[in-house]
C-alpha cells in the first residue's frame, strides 16, 4: 500500500473505525442510505480494481459528473486508488464552458449519470479522446457505455491485488475553477496537495474523529471520511446554494446532530434569516466554516445567534489552487475588524495557517519570472497576495500561459502562487482582502479597489449589497457603484438612497469622488457558491447608463 496516495488515509481510518458512518444521505422521513467507513473503503477498492480491468489505468484521466451521493464518494476514492486522474468540473458552469474544459482535459473516460451522458452526446463533449464510458444508471446504458455494476463485478472477479497506486508527486486531480472572473482553468492537484489540505484542515479547526459534518459543498464533503468524520449530505441543489431550503437544512442538522458545517455565504445568509424569523437554534454545532466569497459581518451575526455561546464561525480564505491560506473566526471579526471593514479598510481574512507562507507583492498584470524579496511590500501597502505551501497546486493543466502568469519560480524547486487577489497585512500579521486584481479600477484620477469601496456603502440599512465597476466616459475610466436593495424597497426609494449613499461616500477619501449610483434588480453571482458578484457582467450593464 502506498501511504502517499490520499486514498490510503481512507483505508487507515476504516481499519481504526470500521463501523463509523462515512457517508449518510440525509432523510428525516425514513432510513437513510449510507456507507460505513469499512463499506466505503471496500467498495472503492473493488471499483478501483474494476476500473483497471476495463482499461482505465494509472495516469489516465476520467471526468466524473455524478451528483453528490454514495456513488460519488465510492468513485472518487476508486479513481484515486487506481491512480486515475479525476477531472472535476462544476456542472453549473454551463454547456459551453464544460465543453472547453473537457477539450483541454482530454479525458480518457467519462463517468456520469443519465443526464450527464445525454448532455455529453448532444454537445459532443470530449468525443475525440473518450475510450471508456460508464453510467451509474442501468436504464440509460447503451452502445459502448458500461454500467457501474459491471465495473464492480469485474473488480470482484479480479485477483485481490493491491489497488492503491501513485505517490505524493503523482497527479491526483484536475480541478477546474468556477470561471467567475474569467475562463475556468484546471488546477493540477497531486496526492501530496490533497494530503496537505486534509492535514491543514484538521489542525486549523481541531476536527476530531467521530464528528458529523453537514457537507453542502461536494469537494469539502470528500474530506470528511479521511478525517474520520461522517459526511452528511443534505437534500439540496448543490449548484444553487443561495436558494437552499433553509428549513430543511436546519431540520437535517437537528435530526442528525451535526457537529460541524461548511457552507457558502449565500447559504448561511439564507439559513440565518429563516432561523431568526422562526426562532431556531443549532446547539449541536461545534464550528461552522464559511468560504467562497467575503462574508458579511451581518451574516456572521445572524447565523451566530443560532449557535451556542462560544461556538465560532470560521471564514477561511483560499481558492481552488490553494486552500486553506488564512482563517479568522467570527468573534474576532465582530469584536475588532467589523468596524474597520465598514470604514473601507477591506475584509480581514485572518492569519496564515500553519505551513503556509503569505506575502504581498507590488501590483502588476505582467508575468514575474523569478521570486525576489524586492517584490514584497510592507504592512499597510495594498498589493497582490502570493502564497507558498504544500497544499498549493503547481500548475494549470494544459495552460502554459496561465501558469506563467500565476506562478513565480523560487529557489530549490519552490514557487509562489499569485492569488489574483489584492490585500495587505496589518501590523498584527493579519491579512486584509481588498478584491480581485482584475476588478480594480485605474484611471488618471486614481485607483479604486472593490471591497474597500463597496463596504462604505453596504452599511446603508436599505442596501443588500453593492458592486464597484468601471465605466468609460468621454475617454476616461470612472468608478460606478451598482446597488441591490433589500427586499421591500424599490424605485420609490432610489432618490433618497442615492443621496444618502453619496453622503456616506463623502466621509472617506477613497470614496468621496464616486458620484454615480445605479440600481440593479438582482446581481449576477458565481455558479459555485452563489456569492461572488459578477462585476464583469454588471460593468457591461452599467455602460448603457453612463454617458
Query: b vs e for 479-497, b when ≥16 Cβ sit within 10 Å of the residue's Cβ?
Result: bbbbbbbeeebeeeeeeeb
Residues 419-442: tens digit of each pLDDT:
999 999 999 999 999 999 999 999
Give the contacts of 237 (CB within 8 A, at least 6 positions apart): 243, 244
Poorest-pLDDT segment among 178-192, 375-389, 491-505: 178-192
From CA 493, how far away is CA 491, in angstroms rounded?
5
Helix axes 450-458, 494-505, angle to 10 degrees: 120
CATH of domain 440-542: 3.30.300.30
Higher pLDDT, 475 or 308: 308
In this prediction, residue 177 carries a pLDDT of 85
Radius of gyration (Cα) for the chain, nearest Å? Answer: 24
Instruction: Please say whether the beta carbons of 469 and 542 come within 8 A.
Output: yes
In this prediction, residue 161 carries a pLDDT of 67
Residues 96-132: tens digit of each pLDDT:
889 999 999 999 999 999 999 989 989 999 989 999 9
From CA 360, how far away is CA 425, in angstroms rounded?
8
Strand, helix or coil for residue 78: helix
Domains 7-21+34-176 and 440-542 share a fold: no
- The residue to which cell 503523482 is assigned: 170
Q: Where does 17-60 have alpha helices with state H?
A: 37-53
Percent of the chain clearing pLDDT 70 (strictly above)? 97
Q: Where does 305-393 have alpha helices with state H?
A: 330-332, 338-342
- The residue to which cell 493579519 is assigned: 430
Higher pLDDT, 2 or 176: 176
Residues 132-163: tens digit of each pLDDT:
999 998 755 556 899 999 999 999 998 776 66
Give the contacts of 216 (CB within 8 A, at least 6 positions apart): 234, 236, 238, 241, 244, 249, 261, 262, 263, 264, 267
Architecture of domain 7-21+34-176: 3-Layer(aba) Sandwich (3.40)
Which cell numbers in the block locate residue 438? 482584475
Q: Cβ atoms within 10 A of the Cβ of 413, count?
A: 7
Given a cut of 80, is residue 2 above it in pLDDT? no
N residues, the chain: 547
- The residue to which cell 489542525 is assigned: 203
Given a cut of 80, is residue 3 above it in pLDDT? no
Given a cut of 80, is residue 91 above it in pLDDT? no
Cis bond before residue 324 (omega within 30° of 0): yes
- DSSP-derived secondary structure for 462-506: TEEEEEEEEEEETTEEEEEEEEEEPTT--GGGHHHHHHHHHHHHT
Over residues 352-369, mean pLDDT: 97
Assign 218 a pLDDT band (cuts: 50, 70, 90). Answer: confident
Given a cut of 90, is residue 168 above it in pLDDT? no
Average pLDDT of the chain is: 93
Instruction: Please say whether the beta carbons of 501 and 462 come within 8 A.
Output: no
Residues 396-410: tens digit of each pLDDT:
999 999 999 999 999
- Segments making up each domain of the chain, as ranges: 7-21+34-176, 440-542
Residues 375-388: tens digit of each pLDDT:
999 999 999 999 99
Phi, psi at residue 265, to the nearest 5°? -55, -35
Amino acid at each position: 500500500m502506498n501511504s502517499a496516495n490520499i486514498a490510503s488515509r481512507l483505508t487507515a481510518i476504516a481499519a481504526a473505525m470500521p463501523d463509523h458512518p462515512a457517508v449518510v444521505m440525509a432523510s428525516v422521513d425514513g432510513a437513510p442510505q449510507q456507507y460505513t467507513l469499512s463499506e466505503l473503503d471496500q467498495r472503492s477498492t473493488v471499483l478501483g480494481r474494476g476500473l483497471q480491468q476495463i482499461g482505465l489505468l494509472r495516469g489516465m484521466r476520467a471526468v466524473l459528473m455524478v451528483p453528490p451521493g454514495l456513488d460519488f464518494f465510492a468513485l472518487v476514492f476508486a479513481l484515486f486508488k487506481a491512480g486515475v486522474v479525476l477531472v472535476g468540473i462544476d456542472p453549473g458552469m454551463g454547456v459551453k464552458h464544460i465543453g472547453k474544459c473537457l477539450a483541454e482535459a482530454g479525458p480518457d473516460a467519462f463517468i456520469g449519470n443519465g443526464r450527464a451522458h445525454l448532455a455529453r452526446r448532444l454537445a459532443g463533449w470530449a468525443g475525440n479522446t473518450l475510450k471508456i464510458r460508464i453510467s451509474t444508471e442501468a436504464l440509460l446504458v447503451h452502445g459502448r457505455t458500461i454500467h457501474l455494476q459491471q465495473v464492480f463485478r469485474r473488480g470482484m472477479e479480479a485477483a485481490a491485488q493491491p489497488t492503491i497506486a501513485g505517490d505524493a508527486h503523482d497527479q491526483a486531480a484536475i480541478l477546474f475553477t468556477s470561471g467567475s472572473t474569467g475562463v475556468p482553468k484546471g488546477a493540477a492537484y497531486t496526492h501530496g496537495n490533497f494530503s496537505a489540505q486534509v492535514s491543514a484542515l484538521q489542525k486549523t479547526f481541531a476536527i476530531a474523529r467521530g464528528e458529523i459534518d453537514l457537507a453542502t459543498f461536494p469537494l469539502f464533503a470528500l474530506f470528511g471520511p479521511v478525517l474520520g468524520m461522517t459526511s452528511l449530505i443534505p437534500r439540496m441543489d448543490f449548484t444553487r446554494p443561495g436558494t437552499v431550503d433553509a428549513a430543511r437544512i436546519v431540520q437535517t442538522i437537528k435530526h442528525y446532530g451535526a457537529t460541524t458545517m461548511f457552507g457558502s455565504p449565500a447559504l448561511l445568509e439564507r439559513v440565518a434569516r429563516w432561523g431568526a424569523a422562526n426562532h431556531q437554534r443549532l446547539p449541536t454545532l461545534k464550528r461552522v466554516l464559511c468560504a467562497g466569497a467575503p462574508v458579511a459581518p451581518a451574516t456572521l451575526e445572524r447565523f451566530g445567534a443560532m449557535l451556542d455561546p462560544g461556538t465560532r464561525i470560521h471564514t477561511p480564505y483560499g481558492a481552488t489552487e490553494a486552500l486553506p491560506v488564512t482563517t479568522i473566526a467570527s468573534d474576532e471579526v465582530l469584536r475588532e475588524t467589523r468596524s474597520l471593514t465598514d470604514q473601507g479598510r477591506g475584509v480581514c481574512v485572518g492569519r496564515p495557517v500553519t505551513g503556509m507562507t503569505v506575502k504581498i507583492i507590488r501590483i502588476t498584470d505582467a508575468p514575474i519570472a523569478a521570486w525576489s524579496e524586492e517584490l514584497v511590500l510592507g504592512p499597510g501597502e495594498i498589493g497582490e497576495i502570493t502564497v507558498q505551501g504544500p497544499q498549493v497546486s503547481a500548475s494549470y493543466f494544459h495552460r502554459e500561459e496561465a501558469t506563467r502568469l500565476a506562478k513565480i519560480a523560487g529557489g530549490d524547486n519552490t514557487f509562489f502562487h499569485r492569488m489574483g487577489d489584492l490585500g495587505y497585512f496589518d501590523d498584527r500579521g493579519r491579512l486584509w482582502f481588498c478584491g480581485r486584481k482584475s476588478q480594480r479600477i485605474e484611471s488618471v484620477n486614481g485607483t479604486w479597489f472593490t471591497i474597500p469601496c463597496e463596504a462604505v456603502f453596504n452599511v446603508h440599512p436599505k442596501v443588500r449589497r453593492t458592486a464597484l465597476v468601471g465605466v468609460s466616459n468621454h475617454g476616461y475610466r470612472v468608478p460606478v457603484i451598482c446597488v441591490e436593495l433589500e427586499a421591500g424597497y424599490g424605485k420609490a426609494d432610489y432618490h433618497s438612497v442615492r443621496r444618502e449613499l453619496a453622503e456616506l461616500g463623502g466621509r472617506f477619501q477613497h470614496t468621496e469622488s464616486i458620484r454615480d449610483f445605479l440600481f440593479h434588480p438582482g446581481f449576477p453571482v458565481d455558479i459555485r457558491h452563489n456569492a461572488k458578484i459578477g462585476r464583469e457582467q454588471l460593468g457591461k450593464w452599467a455602460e448603457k447608463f453612463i454617458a
